[in-house]
Chains A and B, each alone.
Chain A
Amino acid sequence: MIKSLKTALFTLAFVNSALAQEAMLQEKQNLPNASSYSRWSFGAGIETRMLKKLSADADYEHRLFPSLFVAYREKWVQSFTEFAFHENSQRVGVLNIDYQRKELRQWARYIIRDQSTWTPHLGASLGLYREEIKTRLSQDFRADTSEWEPTLGFEIGAQGILFRRMLAELNFRALRDSFDEKEEDWNWSLQVNLGYAPL
């Protein structure tokens, strides 16, 4: 967890550096008026998701979700399509469990304002996830794959433009897989994206 936060903070520090800010301001000056603005972008990101331990109220473990995205902005609204992936393998004695989760999320973002170095936004998403579990007990093995299930999320974040066509994003997210049966809490996450805007 600490390592991931350090990585995120390092990235933040990097994109906030004087050089980056200068590049952003220059880029902003070259941009058309937001009300007539449309742009494609794509890139990759990493998300660190906080999950409560099984019995604890305030003790968390984290999972890393690398992701790929493609986004299209039209004026004050952005469509952000994201594919994220996580896997881990854990063993206790003769019991070994490999867990894999794939997510496809469609975010709808509202750009709050477009006048500063950073462009803040609010977003909501609906997506699908699928889990695959491989359980091994000594020589006994079984693989299970779930159906694609719905997942929901909200975010607040900001996007900046670096070095002409490069994008950087930082998002705080609240994510949840269902509303009732799991009776789960919201999972919180911090996500960083780096992308390229060709048009």
Chain B
Amino acid sequence: MVFLRNSLLWSLFLGICLSCQKKDPDQGYTFLIPWPQASGEYRLQEVRLVTLSSPFEMKGSAAEVYSELGFRGPGLEGHPARPRLTEVDGVYVPNDPQSALVVAVYAHFEFLQKMEVDLQLPTRMSWPRQVSVGMPMVKSNGQREFNNARYFMDEDIVAVSPYNGEGLPLALNAGILAHEHFHAIFERLFMPAFESVEVAAESSQRRQLIVRAWNEGLADFYAFVYTQNPDYMGDSVSPEVRQGRRLDRDVVSLLTPQQFQSDVERFADDDQCPQGFCLAYGEGNKLARLLYEIWQKLSEADQTGFLRELLTRLPSASRTLASAEEISLRSLVPLVVSQQVVSKAEACKSLTLLLGGDEVFVSSYPECPTEGTQP
């Protein structure tokens, strides 16, 4: 009996000592997570994160990541996710896929933050970002939503719905997270001035769709900038959506106001394209393809300058467009893409194609000839 009692006391003491070894959080923590490679492929990789104060809680200066939480009032109900991890030789290995997803999401927001700081991008972003992974969401038809990601502007939260597909889960997809993150940037740089002007209800929906198209297009481009992968959606989405959102395709003309109006009416009652939002993705992607082409032709230093200039110009573009009586899909281009950048990238031809040869807009680029283009 004495032996048993003594053994227990010594064992408890030893156990407490063994479990009290602290690590220095300044060194960061290394996690094993799926991570994009230069080829665009995702592999298991050890990724070091330096903004977390504990590896066991996804809360740091870059983000607060939540798991499977819905909204309660203005925010999320619950605390930042505590992933289940096992430490093996200094590397934290997730015990289940949901833990891997929340860690990967935190990691991408830390890297997005680093990119914006390093490149001195004028995003007006507030950190840490709030992200909910596996958030239960419902579609407009009342069914549970899977395989989607959204930015909720009122709550300023990025949400990723549960994934039930066979490809790369959306929460692991760097490009999709960067795309949604850009919506928060757009909300800060463009929307305040644009929404300050009241417009007639009949033109409001059309304006909303046009702005949505710009928002989606710029978000596609931002996703490329972060991932350096023009096929950033990969197999996280259906082959049709993937093909439709690739950036390495030929630049084509944005719809004219008449064509756009006609398509909006055509899609008005289409369940697959509620309120014509699918048009916004398609038209936005055309803009993204031009920006991608310009980026590809610039030097590394000019690329950073181009991105910075694009973001810097958004607030003033917003003020100009807010006070315009009529706006079209093409209106934003001359306000955010400068002649200097177009000339450096020798992108006159693609620019003119995107603008459909419309002299009203092409004339903003004196170095780009309008002859020979089709309106």
**A37-54 CB contacts (< 8 Å) to partner B:** 51-54
Across the two chains, which residue of chain B brings its CB closest to A152?
Answer: B15
Known A55-B68, A135-B44; contact A95-B34, beta-carbon cutoff 8 A: yes
Interchain CB contact under 8 A, B11 and A183: no
Interchain CB contact under 8 A, A144 and B1: no
Residue B343 CB within 8 A of the other chain: no
CA distance A141 to B54 in the complex (A): 27
Q: Which residues of B have CB within 8 Å of A55?
A: 66-69, 76, 78-82
Residue B42 CB within 8 A of the other chain: yes
Stretch at the interface among B88-96, B186-194, B267-275, B285-293: B88-96
Known A92-B169, A93-B167, A108-B5; contact A54-B12, beta-carbon cutoff 8 A: no
User: 1/0 per residue B4-45: CB within 8 Å of A?
Assistant: 110110011011101111110000000010100000001110
Stretch at the interface among A7-15, A73-81, A113-121: A73-81
User: 1/0 per residue A86-101: CB within 8 Å of B?
Assistant: 0010111111110100
User: 1/0 per residue A114-144: CB within 8 Å of B?
Assistant: 0000000000101000010101011011101
Known A54-B67, A77-B1, A126-B11; contact A91-B86, beta-carbon cutoff 8 A: no
CA distance A137 to B69 in the complex (A): 26
CA distance A88 to B32 in the complex (A): 19
Interchain CB contact under 8 A, A92 and B167: no
Interchain CB contact under 8 A, B19 and A178: yes
Residue A106 CB within 8 A of the other chain: yes
Residue among A57, A77, A92, A133 making CB contact with B163, cutoff 8 Å:
A92
CA distance A8 to B275 in the complex (A): 53
Residue among A54, A124, A178, A180 making CB contact with B83, cutoff 8 Å:
A54
Residue among B1, B88, B97 making CB contact with A95, cutoff 8 Å:
B97
Residue among A56, A75, A92 making CB contact with B1, cutoff 8 Å:
A75
Q: Which residues of A have CB within 8 Å of B277?
A: none
Q: Which residues of A have CB within 8 Å of B99?
A: 54
Known A140-B43, A144-B93; contact A95-B169, beta-carbon cutoff 8 A: yes
Interchain CB contact under 8 A, B167 and A94: yes
Q: Which residues of B have CB within 8 Å of A90?
A: 96-98
CA distance A185 to B69 in the complex (A): 20
Residue among B16, B56, B88 making CB contact with A181, cutoff 8 Å:
B56
Residue A150 CB within 8 A of the other chain: yes
Across the two chains, which residue of chain B brings its CB closest to A52?
Answer: B82
- The minimal Cβ–Cβ distance linking B93 to chain A, given in whole angstroms, is 5
- The minimal Cβ–Cβ distance linking A68 to chain B, given in whole angstroms, is 21
Band of interface residues on A:
35 or more
Interchain CB contact under 8 A, B97 and A91: yes
Residue A182 CB within 8 A of the other chain: yes
Residue A22 CB within 8 A of the other chain: no
Q: Which residues of B have CB within 8 Å of A88?
A: 96
Q: Which residues of B have CB within 8 Å of A181?
A: 19, 21-23, 54, 56
CA distance A27 to B148 in the complex (A): 63
Interchain CB contact under 8 A, A93 and B44: no
Q: Which residues of A have CB within 8 Å of B155?
A: none
Across the two chains, which residue of chain A brings its CB closest to B5?
Answer: A108
CA distance A77 to B172 in the complex (A): 52
CA distance A76 to B22 in the complex (A): 39
Interchain CB contact under 8 A, A131 and B95: yes
Interchain CB contact under 8 A, B11 and A106: yes
Residue B87 CB within 8 A of the other chain: yes
Residue A33 CB within 8 A of the other chain: no
Interchain CB contact under 8 A, B172 and A95: yes
Q: Which residues of B have CB within 8 Å of A140?
A: 43-44
Q: Which residues of A have CB within 8 Å of B95?
A: 97, 99, 131, 133
Interchain CB contact under 8 A, A126 and B15: yes
- The minimal Cβ–Cβ distance linking A159 to chain B, given in whole angstroms, is 17
Would you list 10 pairs from A and B whose C-beta atoms are within 8 A, ordered by A residue?
A55-B81, A77-B1, A77-B5, A93-B236, A133-B93, A144-B93, A150-B14, A180-B22, A181-B56, A184-B82
A residues with a Cβ closer than 8 A to B are 51-57, 74-77, 79, 88, 90-97, 99, 106, 108, 124, 126, 131, 133, 135, 137-138, 140-142, 144-146, 149-152, 177-184
B residues with a Cβ closer than 8 A to A are 1, 4-5, 7-8, 11-12, 14-16, 18-23, 32, 34, 42-44, 54, 56-57, 66-69, 76, 78-84, 86-88, 91, 93-102, 163, 165-169, 172, 235-236
Q: Which 8 A-B pairs have the closest CB atoms?
A: A54-B67, A178-B19, A150-B15, A126-B11, A92-B97, A54-B81, A55-B78, A55-B67
